[in-house]
Amino acid sequence: MTELSVVIPCYNEDEVIGRFHRAVLKELEDLGISFEICYVDDGSRDATRLHLREFARLDNRVRYLSFSRNFGKEAAILAGLRTCSGDAAILMDADLQHPPSLIPKMLELHRQGYDQVVAQRDRAGDGLLRTLVSKVYYRLMRRCIDVQLVDGQGDFRLLSRKAVQAVISLPESNRFSKGIFSWIGFDTVSFSYKNAERAAGRSKWGGRRLLNYGIDGLLSFNSRPLRLVIHLGTLLFLTALGYTGWIFVSTLMTGVRTPGYVTLIAVITGLSGVQLTTLGVIGEYVGRIYGESKHRPHYVVHEASDLQAPAVVPPP
Ligand code: UDP
Ligand code: MG
């Protein structure tokens, strides 16, 4: 029985993967427990897959899985958790931003009885803009969705077997891990560490990708935005009702007046804006329902170190 699995999603990481592998291996060997390293190559277009193939050939504690194209980090995390067999699994990035030196501490906390051990990063090394946007985003999210998200608590965490089972039992195709980890619950402990700069290569999260990720997070956990839209609609309706009443009374008292062109245009444009936004929000949910109803697998595996990997074609 493997005591610890380390699961690593990688996408175009050939510049760092070697360094990362040595660092993790050293850390795990020093622990003196049985372990496995599960890499998930998320359709890299560089030499990442060749490196993984080599690691697995040289060391039977290393397994890997390679997707047929880039399916995104969420899919890679799911695949890794499905394949791993350890009593506990640690999820980490390949770029050395998640220091392997924290592994012993995470394991130690897990042994004290926690099912989720979260390493929470500070925002050192992040751009000012990204820090600011994240702060605002998390504040907004706390108001909008039911699960608790904490700034800096990301995917770098240890999950017990029970927690892993819970995560992989959620079938949704629109996955938002941060929310899922919080949704499954369990005894969770977190400690903070100083964020490190990426060792080499480039971040795959440009502004646009982050924005989409943010919207996903907002919409994948509940229908509260729809509720907000209903409130807004009601408020506008009441305002319009009041305004109409006021015009009626004032016409009765002062006679017919033609001015009002500006008000008219303002009302038309304002309301059209609200209607379009509302339709957009509804459309997002409908799109999601459509996406989920197709029951497509989350990813397609192209190559794997061991063919008995349970994740080759997952059932719907
Ligand atoms: N990653 C992935 N698929 C993607 C994008 C990223 O598997 O489509 C991996 C990437 O290789 C890395 C981790 O997810 O191991 C975090 O990515 P990155 O460092 O680019 O994100 P950041 O640290 O900037 O948030
Ligand atoms: Mg990174």
Beta bridge partners of 7: 38, 91
- Over residues 204-221, the pLDDT tens digits come to 777 787 788 787 777 777
| Helical pair 161-168 and 177-184, crossing angle rounded to 10 deg | 120
- Checking if the pLDDT of 248 tops 50, the result is yes
pLDDT of residue 125: 66
Nearest ligand for residue 203 CA: 1
Task: Extract the tokens encoding 55.
Answer: 């690691």
CA of 18 to the centre of ligand 2 (A): 16
- Checking if the pLDDT of 311 tops 50, the result is no
Confidence of residue 91 (pLDDT cuts 50, 70, 90): very high
Pairwise pLDDT comparison (30 vs 148), residue with the higher score: 30
Pairwise pLDDT comparison (39 vs 288), residue with the higher score: 39
- Over residues 140-177, the pLDDT tens digits come to 877 777 777 777 788 899 999 999 999 999 988 888 88
Task: Extract the tokens encoding 304.
Answer: 């794997």
Extended strands (E) in 222-304? 301-304
pLDDT of residue 312: 43
Smallest Cα–Cα separation from 181: which of 205, 151, 209, 159? 159
- Checking if the pLDDT of 307 tops 60, the result is no
**Contact assessment for residue 65 and residue 39, using Cβ atoms and an 8 Å cutoff:** yes
Starting from the edge strand earliest in sequence, which strands make up the sheet with 153-160, in order?
188-193, 116-121, 153-160, 88-91, 4-10, 35-41, 62-67, 301-304
Task: Write down the number of H helices and E strands in the chain.
Answer: 10, 8
Task: Extract the tokens encoding 149.
Answer: 């998200």
- Checking if the pLDDT of 68 tops 70, the result is yes
- Checking if the pLDDT of 315 tops 70, the result is no
Write down the pTM of the prediction: 0.77
**Contact assessment for residue 95 and residue 199, using Cβ atoms and an 8 Å cutoff:** yes
Q: What is the value of ipTM here, to two decimals?
A: 0.94
Residue having the nearest C-alpha atom to atom 21 of ligand 1: 203
Which residue of 6, 73, 90, 151 sits with most ligand 1 atoms within 8 Å of its CB, as the best mutation to test the pocket?
73
Residue having the nearest C-alpha atom to atom 16 of ligand 1: 93
Confidence of residue 257 (pLDDT cuts 50, 70, 90): low
Q: 236: helix, coil or strand?
A: helix
Cα→Cα distances 2→6, 61, 88, 101, 221, Å: 11, 10, 9, 20, 33
- Checking if the pLDDT of 290 tops 90, the result is no
Q: Are strands 301-304 and 4-10 parallel, antiparallel or unpaired?
A: unpaired
Ligand 1 proximity of 93 Cβ (cutoff 6 Å)? yes
Residue having the nearest C-alpha atom to atom 3 of ligand 1: 73
**Contact assessment for residue 66 and residue 302, using Cβ atoms and an 8 Å cutoff:** yes
